[in-house]
Amino acid sequence: MIVETASEVLEKHKLCNHCLGRLFAKLGKGTNEERGKAIRFVLNMERSRKGLSPIGEPEECELCGNVFDRIPELVEKMKKASEGIEFDTFLVGSRFPEEVRRKEEALWEEFGIETGEPINREFNRELGKAFGVETGKDTSRNPDVVFIVEPYSGAIELQINPIYIYGRYRKLVRGIPQTPLPEFEDSVASIICRVVSRAFDGKCIFKGAGREDVDVRMLGNGRPFIVEVKRPKRRKVDLNKIAGEINASGKVEVLDLSFVSAKEAEEVLTKNHRKEYLALVFVKDGVTPEEAEEVARKLRGLEIHQRTPWRVRKARADKVRVKKVYEAQARWIDDTHFELHLVTDGGLYIKELISGDKGRTKPSVSDLLGKSAWCERLDVLNILDE
């Protein structure tokens, strides 16, 4: 049946061995070109037996226009397009003219072909094999780069896939925001990204798992973050060296830098974390050691109903969030100050937990004391993963 179908096709259409073999791509093993040669060979044996002249491979294939002969030339163009780009793995995609795809589909329909493979799939595979042999690079489902090839024009589009780096940062000083703000010279993101961008020769985008205020330090085990490096020209970079350069700033310290996948990066940023805080509370009307201890006792296990704080209402959806305080300990300092050591749900605004934010946070430390209280100083001690 294969030979009969092939005979019917070749009597009406001039096809190269690639396009002939591709009609039967789902049958047997080997390349389409090898399959096409074998089919043509057996067909011509039959024709010889019947005294008919052989059907040779045409000078120009009416379906593909001998596009497979252009593979060596396109490999050279791909090499040129990727000069100066560091990568180990790649994929090839192609943009075939709609006219070619329609011709192929019409051919399948004309002869009832159900075993064919689309031309772009074979072309991508064969071009990828040739490029791999020439360069020693490997194909991958998660490649460093993707070549999009226009086979007839020879145009090459190079897509350089981003790199994702996980880490945790400690903000050692007050007075710097997490991300750039006009009135601040530095930020956590800019200190980290200056080093990362230079090392990878790409654009760095910083994403923190939550954030702390400008006047709050981030200490302890650090806050998880992801940096995405877009269109990196270098990929083989020593992350320990990067950490050393960032840490030399004296303002920000990074820990546990590692390469991660896009999926792992997303999980880091969407995971909810409990947080450990140390707050210095000021009570203008005075506070006793007993009152401080009583506030901590009442806070333990307490559910807090917190409407979006007044100070961030323009940047956050105005709604009531229910958060929990898991642990609370107090240490009295003087007649107007005590420290609160807290473990809470992520997303609970601690300054407003203390002040009450004019009734938007209930209950608050001010409510529990029965007198106004303010957060004078705040540190995030740890981000708790579990």
Binding site membership for substrate: which residues?
A: 277, 349
CA separation, residue 329 to residues 134, 233, 278, 299, 339 (Å): 66, 50, 10, 9, 8
Q: Are 287 and 333 in contact (CB under 8 A)?
A: no
370's CB contacts (< 8 A; 6+ apart) are none
Q: Which entry of 186, 201, 213, 367 is annotated as an active-site residue?
A: 213
Return the closest-CA partner of residue 357 out of 292, 307, 323, 284. Answer: 307
Our answer to whether residue 213 is catalytic in this structure is: yes
340's CB contacts (< 8 A; 6+ apart) are 277, 278, 279, 281, 295, 296, 299, 328, 329, 330, 354, 365
148 sits in which H/E element: strand 145-149
Number of CB atoms found within 10 A of residue 206's CB? 20
Structure token pair of residue 190: 């800019």
Edge-first strand order for the sheet with 138-139 is: 138-139, 89-94, 145-149, 156-160
Direct distance between the N- and C-terminal alpha carbons of the chain, in angstroms, rounded to an integer: 64
One-letter amino acid for residue 341 of the chain: H
CA distance 245 to 222: 17
49's CB contacts (< 8 A; 6+ apart) are none
Give the bridge partners for 160, in sequence order.
145
Q: Are 362 and 376 in contact (CB under 8 A)?
A: no
Q: Are 264 and 164 in contact (CB under 8 A)?
A: yes
Return the closest-CA partner of residue 229 out of 133, 163, 167. Answer: 163
Return the closest-CA partner of residue 217 out of 176, 181, 246. Answer: 176
Q: Are 79 and 134 in contact (CB under 8 A)?
A: yes
Which residues are the active-site residues? 213
